[in-house]
Homo-oligomer: A and B are copies of this chain.
Amino acid sequence: MAEKPRKTGRQGTREQLLDVALALFNERGSADVTTNQIAEAAGRSPGNLYYHFRDREEIVRNLFSRLVGRWAEVYALPEGRAPDLSDIERMLAGNFAALWEYRFIYRDLPTLLHRDEIFRRAYAETRAAGFANFRKLLAYFAEAGLIHPPASGEDAEELASLLWLIGDYWLPFVEAGNDDLTKQKLEQGIALFRRVLKPYLRT
């Protein structure tokens, strides 16, 4: 019943399995990685893997939870001071860094959603919360005088959709182009963000 039973001070097996799974998923696509391969790459047995995870999908869900956690950090508003331009930059960079770290998720999103009802719900919830948070951010930034507020609610909605679309799919888009995914490509994604945001930025 202990909160986190660890026999040593080292990282637990469960987390280690997640790390290995993430690396393999990112490298070869989640569909082409078997649970046995994950176990083997982690130096564990299949049985052990299934002791820690009920099924394959639970692994994916846990990795998605990690990504959600990253986002929460990235999009946290500064405490005790008004937001400034550097916060926007930090959010942009952090967002893409997180997506890069968990890139298999958006690469394989339709398949993952299709295969797992629970994940589907978690994703939908996250997405809804993200949209709501985006509206709040816009309001904050407008209040702080950083941006012009969108012309209308509909305009804000459309802006959010477009930014969200870029965020989710820029990496898959580049990968589909066969180009190796360099730092420069990440920068281009951020550039697209800026381009779309530009009309709203106060100079």
Chain A residues packing against B (C-beta within 8 Å)? 28-29, 31-32, 107-111, 113-114, 120, 123-124, 127, 158, 161-162, 164-166, 168-170, 172-173, 175-178, 188, 191-192, 195-196
Contacts and interface: CB of A to CB of B under 8 A. Distances in A.
Interface of A is mostly: helix
Contact of A166 (B114, B165, B175, B195): B165
Contact of A29 (B111, B164, B173): B111
B29 A176 contact: no
Nearest to A175: B110
17 contacts: A28-B114, A31-B31, A32-B114, A108-B110, A110-B172, A110-B176, A113-B176, A120-B178, A124-B177, A124-B178, A158-B195, A161-B192, A165-B170, A168-B176, A169-B169, A169-B172, A196-B196
Contact of A107 (B110, B120, B177): B110
A168 B169 CA distance: 9
A169 B175 CA distance: 13
Contacts of A177: 124, 127
B108 A176 contact: no
Contacts of A110: 29, 107-108, 172, 175-176
A52 to B, nearest CB: 26
Given A111-B111, A124-B177, A158-B188, 8 more contacts: A31-B114, A162-B166, A162-B195, A162-B196, A164-B173, A169-B169, A169-B173, A196-B196
A100 to B, nearest CB: 15
Contacts of A123: 176
Contacts of A108: 110-111
A150 to B, nearest CB: 12
Contacts of A169: 165, 168-169, 172-173
A114 B28 CA distance: 8
Contacts of A176: 109-110, 113, 123, 127, 168
